[in-house]
């Protein structure tokens, strides 16, 4: 994490605690590996999002453009794990602003706040579509809060996210 402003964004949305609680709740032994892409797309639709499945890299993608910022939320569902990635880019300069895999963001927060924890917060696991729906619901709320926090910044402040 490159700046205190980035840390402040994640603190304002209580990112670390929310993701840690989700991870703890969904460490399931029986994992659902044979999901159907259409059913996952339907879950996103139920939650109010239009997601695309990117076949080449096997992940689901939501992309939104608000003002001059492109936001994205990606979900990779391998072996019943949910790898979650969100981010924001400056469209004018075509530059990444902030974001990354949820586990990586959590680890960076631990380092900056001197939280001693071995390893990474493990990705949430799902054993059925109901679990996946609940995981997506929580993480999409996190994504909405992320967008709101980034958009609160003035254009001048957005430039300093990279510093």
Average confidence (pLDDT) over 22-37: 90
Name the residue range of residue 42's domain.
Answer: 4-162
**Nearest-CA neighbor of 59 among 85, 29, 26?**
85
3-state secondary structure of 100: strand
State yes or no: pLDDT of 158 exceeds 70: no
Average confidence (pLDDT) over 63-78: 95
**Nearest-CA neighbor of 76 among 43, 40, 105, 109?**
40
Digit-coded pLDDT (tens) for 128-150: 999 999 999 999 999 999 999 99
State yes or no: pLDDT of 112 exceeds 90: no
Q: In whole angstroms, what is the distance from residue 88 CA to residue 148 CA?
A: 11
pLDDT band, very low/low/confident/very high, at 163 (cuts 50, 70, 90): very low
Pseudo-torsion of CA 94, 97, 102, 105, nearest 10°?
A: 140
Domain tally for the chain? 1
Q: In whole angstroms, what is the distance from residue 103 CA to residue 63 CA?
A: 20
- What is the predicted pLDDT for the residue at 113? 87
Average confidence (pLDDT) over 76-84: 94
């Amino acid at each position: 994490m490159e700046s205190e402003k980035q840390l402040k964004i994640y603190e304002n949305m209580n990112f670390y605690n929310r993701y840690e609680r989700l991870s703890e709740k969904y460490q399931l032994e029986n994992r659902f590996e044979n999901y159907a892409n259409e059913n996952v797309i339907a879950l996103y639709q139920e939650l109010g999002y239009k997601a695309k499945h990117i076949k080449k890299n096997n992940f689901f993608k939501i992309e939104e453009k608000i003002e001059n910022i492109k936001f994205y939320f990606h979900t990779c569902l391998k072996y019943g794990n949910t790898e979650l990635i969100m981010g924001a880019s400056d469209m004018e300069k075509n530059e990444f602003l902030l974001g990354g895999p949820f586990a990586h963001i959590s680890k960076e927060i631990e380092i900056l706040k001197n939280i001693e924890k071995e390893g990474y917060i493990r990705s949430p696991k799902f054993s059925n579509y109901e679990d996946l729906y609940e995981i997506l619901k929580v993480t999409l709320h996190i994504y909405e809060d992320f967008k709101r926090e980034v958009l609160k910044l003035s254009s001048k402040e957005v430039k300093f996210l990279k510093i």
